[in-house]
Chains A and B, each alone.
Chain A
Amino acid sequence: MIELIHILVLIGLVITAALIVWQKDLIVAAVTFAAFSFLLSIEFYILQAPDVAIAEAAVGAGVSTAIFIIAIRATHDQEVT
């Protein structure tokens, strides 16, 4: 059962990581990065490291997304070719 949860979370990690690189809209990439860090936080949690999960959730959700949004606001919204 825990192994099945492991498999599902790891598949979700690969899908979101591929979507971050493939996506051309930068807001969508930042939002998908938030989802990626959430799934990574669940993975740390399942591996029974709650302190690492707290640090990952704090950095990935609270700080990183906010700083990405501030940086995108100051520059371009779409991918520049």
Chain B
Amino acid sequence: MIDIFGITALLVILIAFGALVRLVIGPTVPDRVVAVDTINTLTVAVMILLGVVYQQYIFIDVAIVYALLSFISTLYVAKYIGGEL
């Protein structure tokens, strides 16, 4: 039963590598910002799945903090690109 969550975490990390390819070859800046935002969301999913694998509920708190801070980071870059900052 635990192996299902581990395999799912592995597959989600593989999908995050697809976003990493877009981060490397993306021609414009907004492409790369969207790629980083995708990596953030997939990272939150990986953290929760690995929290199930390790059977420790304290690991879920890391994912909560992480989801909040990745939003702030993306917001700063988006406001700079939009010319408001």
B54 to chain A, nearest CB (A): 7
How many of B's residues come within 8 Å of A, CB to CB? 40
Per the bound structure, the CA–CA distance linking A47 and B29 in Å amounts to 32
Q: Which residues of chain B are within 8 angstroms of A73 by Cβ–Cβ distance? A: 80, 85
Per the bound structure, the CA–CA distance linking A35 and B74 in Å amounts to 11
A1 to chain B, nearest CB (A): 5
A15 interface neighbour in B20, B72, B85, Cβ under 8 Å: B20
Per the bound structure, the CA–CA distance linking A1 and B20 in Å amounts to 21
Contacts A5-B10, A69-B80 hold; do A54 and B36 have CB atoms under 8 A apart? no
B1 at the interface (CB under 8 A from A): no
CB–CB A38/B39 < 8 A: yes
B32 interface neighbour in A28, A45, A48, Cβ under 8 Å: A28
Which 6 residue pairs spanning A and B have beta carbons closest together? Answer: A61-B69, A62-B69, A61-B73, A65-B73, A1-B6, A57-B66
